[in-house]
């Protein structure tokens, strides 16, 4: 049956004791969210391709974590299907964080290219990293939650499912994908070389909706679509001078570009019971860009 929150109203946003798996957690949005989750009592496992970055991120996250919170890392290429399966098995084990209630997909790559100069190798890499990897994680972690996180403790066995029909399991969980304002809004006046990025983020928007429909009713799948934010991925793309960067957004209601902290509140909301009726949608912490310009 679909779940409806009927608990303590002061606990609707409480994620203490939850188990969060965060791909792309070694910096940028992923690390910021990991800090927010750990500070609010959730165990976190961060994953990325670079071990040194992961190790440094874990130390920073631990400094902000609530007492007793588990903060772990695992090297994983989210675009490698077998590596994602192994990461899932580790995450839900006693050696890992012992389960998965929340999946965050913050992995992604970006490179400015106008249509006349698109590099086919990068195009394929962007599709694989920004879209296919989210399908892998959504498939393997989403269905694990659906089959294991059941109110009655029943664990479903995929081998018993009927081919061509939806999973009969109804376990709960939260999946949060990272889209962008560029997923629904191209840049006017020349596009600024965003053809590959716009395309992949548009695909993330639809993948989010499709997974929400497939994993219903108790797994909510949503996306966060930030505005221009000076994350590590944007170093070298955006101006280094912070004053010049902020002038980019002079015409928007918030009159600034984004900070990593701007996605943490939405990520906590989407991970909590407060968002149990919110699915197949995107929250845009964009300073008003999408709807006013």
Contact call for residues 42 and 102 (beta carbons, < 8 A): yes
- Quick check: 128 pLDDT over 80? yes
- Residue 4: inside a domain, yes or no? no
Q: What is the pLDDT of residue 241?
A: 85
Strand pairing category for 19-23 and 43-48: parallel
- Residue 175: inside a domain, yes or no? yes
The whole-number average pLDDT for the span 272-276 is 98
Lowest mean pLDDT among 7-21, 84-98, 245-259, 265-279: 245-259
Q: What is the pLDDT of residue 231?
A: 81
Contact call for residues 28 and 57 (beta carbons, < 8 A): no
More confident of the two residues 207 and 187: 207
- Residue 292: inside a domain, yes or no? no
What does DSSP assign to residue 121?
Answer: H
If you compute the radius of gyration of the chain from its CA atoms, what whole number of angstroms results?
19
- Residue 138: inside a domain, yes or no? yes
Residue 48 — very low, low, confident or very high, per pLDDT cuts 50/70/90?
very high
DSSP characters for 203-218?
A: HHHHHHHHHHHHSTTT
- Say which CATH number the domain at 257 has: 3.40.50.720
Q: What is the residue range of 176's domain?
A: 9-286
Is 70 strand, coil or helix?
Answer: coil
- Residue 257: inside a domain, yes or no? yes
How far apart (Å, rounded) are the C-alpha atoms in residues 134 and 204?
8
Peptide bond into 109 cis (omega under 30): no
Contact call for residues 196 and 123 (beta carbons, < 8 A): yes
Number of domains the chain is built from: 1
- Residue 254: inside a domain, yes or no? yes
- Quick check: 60 pLDDT over 90? yes
User: Tell me: the pLDDT tens digits for 76-108?
Assistant: 999 999 999 999 999 999 999 999 999 999 999
- Residue 3: inside a domain, yes or no? no
- Residue 293: inside a domain, yes or no? no
Strands of 19-23's sheet, edge to edge? 71-75, 43-48, 19-23, 102-105, 173-178, 219-224, 282-283
């Amino acid at each position: 049956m679909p779940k409806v929150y009927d608990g303590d109203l002061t606990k609707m946003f409480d994620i203490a004791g939850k188990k969060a798996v965060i791909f792309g957690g070694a910096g940028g949005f992923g690390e910021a969210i990991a800090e927010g989750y750990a500070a609010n009592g959730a165990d976190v496992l961060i994953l990325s391709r670079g071990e040194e970055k992961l190790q440094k991120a874990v130390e920073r996250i631990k400094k902000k974590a609530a007492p007793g919170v588990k903060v772990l890392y695992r090297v994983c290429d989210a675009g490698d299907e077998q590596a994602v399966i192994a990461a899932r098995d580790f995450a839900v084990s006693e050696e890992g964080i012992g389960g998965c209630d929340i999946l965050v997909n913050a992995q992604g790559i970006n490179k400015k290219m106008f249509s006349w100069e698109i590099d086919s190798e990068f195009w394929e890499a962007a599709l694989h990293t920004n879209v296919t990897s989210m399908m892998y994680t959504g498939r393997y972690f989403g269905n694990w939650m659906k089959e294991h996180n059941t109110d009655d403790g029943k664990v479903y066995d995929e081998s018993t499912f009927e081919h061509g029909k939806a999973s009969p399991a109804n376990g709960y969980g939260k999946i949060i994908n990272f889209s962008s304002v560029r997923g629904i809004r191209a840049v006017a006046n020349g596009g600024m070389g965003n053809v590959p990025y716009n395309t992949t983020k548009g695909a993330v928007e639809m993948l989010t909706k499709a997974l929400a429909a497939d994993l219903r009713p108790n797994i909510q799948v949503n996306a966060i679509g930030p505005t221009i934010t000076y994350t590590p991925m944007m170093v070298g793309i955006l101006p280094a001078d912070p004053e010049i960067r902020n002038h980019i957004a002079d015409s928007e209601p918030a009159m600034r570009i984004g900070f990593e902290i701007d996605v943490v509140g939405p990520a906590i909301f989407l991970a909590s019971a407060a968002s149990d009726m919110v699915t197949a949608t995107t929250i845009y912490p964009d300073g008003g860009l999408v709807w006013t310009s």
